[in-house]
A = this chain, B = another copy of it.
Amino acid sequence: MLGFEHHDHHSCIRSGVAAAEAHCMAEGLQFTPVRRRVLEILLERHAALGAYDILDVLRDEGLGSQPPVAYRALDFLVSNGFAHKIERLNAFVACTHMGEDHNPAFLICRDCDAVAETQADTARGALAKAAGSTGFRVERLVVEAVGLCPRCQQVTPA
């Protein structure tokens, strides 16, 4: 899991983009400049970004200035598993398990909005079981934990 710790962020961006590009190539999807750039922005910041934050960057770079441009790119990235939407924040993050089939769960710091992605396999199993007994069929699962990241626990104890 990619958490709150340090890491080689430069290579993390490069490999993320590369994985997405490879996947698009393989699937015949168009990895257009806007889509690529939005993914890069998400990877660069490594945090939850609102659609309008992303749009601001795109606008500065002349890649688009209206909301639909950002939302469409984000829809593409989310649909193809390159990014996730954090419902709690109305924001988006790059996926840290590009291409792998996984059950993402997110740890969201209520102080600094940092987001870490981890796995929710156990949760999915338990939920699917409970749901199954009522006849409900689970298709997607949103798991978002809100709390304090290690960094903010020092600044804001209690």
- Spell out A's residues near B (CB within 8 Å): 1, 3-5, 87-88, 105, 107, 109-110, 116, 118-120, 122-123, 126-128, 130-131, 134-150, 153
Contact = CB atoms under 8 A, between A and B. Distances in A.
Contacts of A105: 127, 130
B147 A134 contact: no
The 6 closest A-B pairs by CB, nearest first: A135-B150, A123-B123, A122-B126, A87-B87, A3-B134, A139-B147
A130 B2 CA distance: 12
A139 to B, nearest CB: 4
A147 B140 contact: yes
Given A3-B135, A4-B134, A122-B122, 17 more contacts: A3-B136, A87-B87, A87-B88, A87-B142, A105-B127, A109-B136, A118-B134, A128-B145, A131-B147, A134-B150, A135-B149, A135-B150, A136-B148, A140-B145, A140-B146, A142-B146, A143-B143
Number of copies: 2
B1 A142 contact: no
A142 B140 contact: no
Given A123-B122, A149-B136, A131 B107 contact: yes
9 contacts: A105-B130, A107-B131, A119-B130, A123-B127, A128-B145, A135-B150, A139-B146, A139-B147, A141-B145
A123 B127 CA distance: 8
